[in-house]
């Protein structure tokens, strides 16, 4: 069924607790945890508990949960004190854009200057 946990999905295993992560926030529908290979002083991933391969698939199937992910990205930025300096929320979509984990996730990045456009 759509949204069901996938046995080979790393982020589903973080949701279930089978793979450890440094969790910074949790809600009924989302989990936020520190990226294992941070690209900025603050780099947190916000994921839905349900499994969809990318943000667009999540938004199409469960728009309320996609909104929860966005709201949580903002809450993470507040907790990490990134709102004053600015921060970036990124959904890499497709391997050509750097997506490596095919469970929808938002990167929340901040704590340093962020160039635009990105590389």
Contact yes or no for 60/104 (Cβ under 8 A): no
Catalytic residue status for 103: no
The dihedral formed by the CA atoms of 84, 66, 98 and 36, expressed in degrees to the nearest 10: 60
> In the complex with Zn ion, which residue's Cβ is closer, 11 or 33?
11
Establish if 99 lies at the interface with ligand 5GP (CB under 6 A). yes
Give bridge partners of residue 86 from the DSSP assignment.
none
Q: Supply the minimum distance, in Å, between the C-beta of residue 85 and ligand 5GP.
A: 21
Helix (H) or strand (E) holding 59: helix 55-61
User: Which residues bind to ligand 5GP, rule: CB under 6 A?
Assistant: 10, 19, 21, 33-37, 45, 92, 98-101
User: Which residues bind to Zn ion, rule: CB under 5 A?
Assistant: 6, 9, 11-12, 51, 103
Enzyme catalytic residues? 105
């Amino acid at each position: 069924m759509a949204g069901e946990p996938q046995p080979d999905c790393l982020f589903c295993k973080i949701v279930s607790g089978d793979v450890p992560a440094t969790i910074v926030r949790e809600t009924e529908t989302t989990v936020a945890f520190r990226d294992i290979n941070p690209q900025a002083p603050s780099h947190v991933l916000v994921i839905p508990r349900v499994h969809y391969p990318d943000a667009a698939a999540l938004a199409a199937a469960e728009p309320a949960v996609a909104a929860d992910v966005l709201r949580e990205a903002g809450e993470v930025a507040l907790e990490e004190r990134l709102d004053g300096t600015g921060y970036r929320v990124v959904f890499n979509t497709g391997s050509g854009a750097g997506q490596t984990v095919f469970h929808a996730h938002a990167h929340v990045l901040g704590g340093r200057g962020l160039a635009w456009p990105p590389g």
